[in-house]
A and B are shown apart, each in its own frame.
Chain A
């Protein structure tokens, strides 16, 4: 997994609440059997018309946000389906992090497995970042996982919470299957005590 330490990037404002995973990556694109190549389909139904024409009004098509690597959206980002394809699509499109005031549990979990950061700020802080991203040309943010802090060039900064173990894995790009397998003896002991087919097993 690609480590996440400090990232500085342009911010794109997606001013919506409850951005669900069906919007992030519509179901017609879930039939691929690879993890790659989903970026072209991110927010497909918002970015493109039914006939494939580009929607110039969608925020990611605004030239001001070209090359943005940080997305800011309102509360409950990533709700709905468990599809990890949503994270793969955002990451493949070029995003490294999403800022919101809350995230759906499964989306947040999936993010951590892909070196992709979910940055939780308060509603007021999200509103500040949203407004600045809309108003200021070339609005950039630094996301510092070492200090658990976001900073812009205009003097705004805010701390964000992150689980210590998740932070450790992200900073070091650790494969958490390998970490669990360090406890192989414990797993084997548990399996011996709880054989398949028993009530508590």
Chain B
């Protein structure tokens, strides 16, 4: 009898190259994504050891983390950032790696362009020197972030020695209500399990509420897996996945396509496959969430309040006190009474066309509050073009949002897009760590709709009561 296997186990088994006695298994990596920040030392390592890139065609690079989002062609004033970009350009040239550079029509955040170019495909193993590589798991691939030493390892060997992670199924029952998005689902899950609740696990998201998500929604959900500590997040490929990949630039064509689809359809977890851990979530219990603290597990419903410290468990109290001190918030304050200075719509979590459509729908016919500076940063040049074809840029600009060039931008503030000390930001990004968006900056994570509404209202507001124009 065939042993029942999970989606993860099928992909893992298909990629084991060798299982040396007393060592971690060696697994093959189908796709290696590279960017400017975590790669220079890896290329240096290759040169020092006299090694080459084993599979340049399985390696794809772009610049995203530190590039400005001002109009392209504006000189980069940060000389260290400019050097890092120049070093990636030189490395890609030396080692024969395809680079979607600043001036490429395909440039964008690495986790946005992989999927939209059809480079990301179901069943693949995908790595990148970036923790949000988990995004690509939305396609039913095994995708995880690695450090620079492992970047070098993959460049040199196209393999990684990896301990096999444990498996967790998160079964999301029921249906998300209007105004409750994949971002809220992710925040709800992290709020429940904490930022280390899935450490050591690969999560498979399943259940009707996940099946009902678009690919963009699934990417948002898988993207945030790392914020629960997970090694990776995955969603089994289905017709939604296949429909998204079909016809994309690097997707298989003709007979290869038919073969690929047949293989992809074999990947979903067998009905009787078992997981090391199973968590059930009732989608109907979820609402729009806002983070109040300094990690993504510190969440409250938009209709709720900043928690009372004494109501928390002992182990959480000290962290909550420090967080509230940093965030300059009083326990018990209504979330809807928190005013914002800045709004950021973008990042590998929420900068795809569907995210921008959702935010534009909220913004249409309204004006950004006079106390707020709001920016929209599309995830890629392709997203930017698509949005402009639909006229979304006009909707944003008419409402008073800045419309910028693609990149990671204020998600991590490695470029000039940063918060000033004390500024409070409603952000569609993934981390609200101290100083993440700029030293002394205060980040509240929300969905694109909630961010757009906060920009207009000047404070958080329940999107479920929004007056659409």
Q: Which residues of A contact B (CB under 8 A)?
A: 15-18, 20, 22-23, 26-28, 30-35, 45, 50, 75-76, 79-85, 87, 102-106, 109-110, 113-114, 163-165, 168, 176-177, 179-183, 186-187, 190-191, 194, 196-201
Contact = CB atoms under 8 A, between A and B. Distances in A.
In order of increasing CB-CB distance, the 6 nearest A-B pairs are A113-B149, A84-B147, A110-B147, A199-B260, A33-B40, A199-B263
Q: Which secondary structure characterizes the binding site on chain A?
A: loop
B93 interface: no
Contact of B199 (A17, A76, A164): A76
Contacts of B165: 105
Interface stretch (B76-84, B171-179, B300-308, B457-465): B76-84
A131 to B, nearest CB: 14
Most buried by A among B54, B129, B414, B433: B433
A187 B435 contact: no
B195 A33 contact: no
B396 to A, nearest CB: 26
Interface of B: 14, 17-18, 20, 22-24, 26, 28, 30, 37-38, 40-41, 44, 49, 51, 54-55, 57-58, 65-66, 78, 80-81, 83-84, 87, 123, 129-131, 145-150, 152-153, 156-161, 163, 165, 195-196, 199-200, 229, 231, 252, 256, 259-260, 262-264, 295, 315, 318-319, 322, 412-414, 421, 431, 433-436, 439-440
B130 A82 contact: yes
Contacts of B44: 33-35
Contact of A18 (B26, B256, B295): B295
A153 B21 CA distance: 38
Contact of B319 (A18, A30, A82, A187): A18
Given A186-B26, A200-B263, A106 B80 contact: no
Contact of A27 (B49, B157, B195, B414): B414
A82 B22 contact: no
A133 to B, nearest CB: 17
8 contacts: A17-B319, A18-B295, A20-B295, A32-B80, A76-B195, A79-B295, A180-B161, A187-B159
B227 to A, nearest CB: 8
A50 B440 contact: yes
A190 B20 CA distance: 15
Most buried by B among A28, A32, A177: A177
A177 B153 contact: yes
Given A23-B434, A31-B66, A186-B17, A109 B146 contact: yes
Contacts of A104: 196, 199, 229
A106 B147 contact: yes
Nearest to B250: A197
B196 A28 contact: no
B439 A30 contact: no
A199 B139 CA distance: 13
Nearest to A113: B149
B87 A33 contact: yes
B24 A163 contact: yes
A45 B439 contact: yes
Contacts of B131: 80-82, 106
Given A22-B433, A79-B196, A176-B161, 15 more contacts: A22-B431, A27-B436, A31-B78, A81-B131, A81-B431, A82-B38, A113-B149, A181-B157, A186-B17, A187-B26, A191-B158, A196-B55, A198-B259, A199-B262, A199-B263
Contacts of A199: 123, 252, 256, 259-260, 262-264
B38 A102 contact: no
A17 B81 CA distance: 32
Given A33-B84, A102-B199, A180-B157, A197 B256 contact: yes
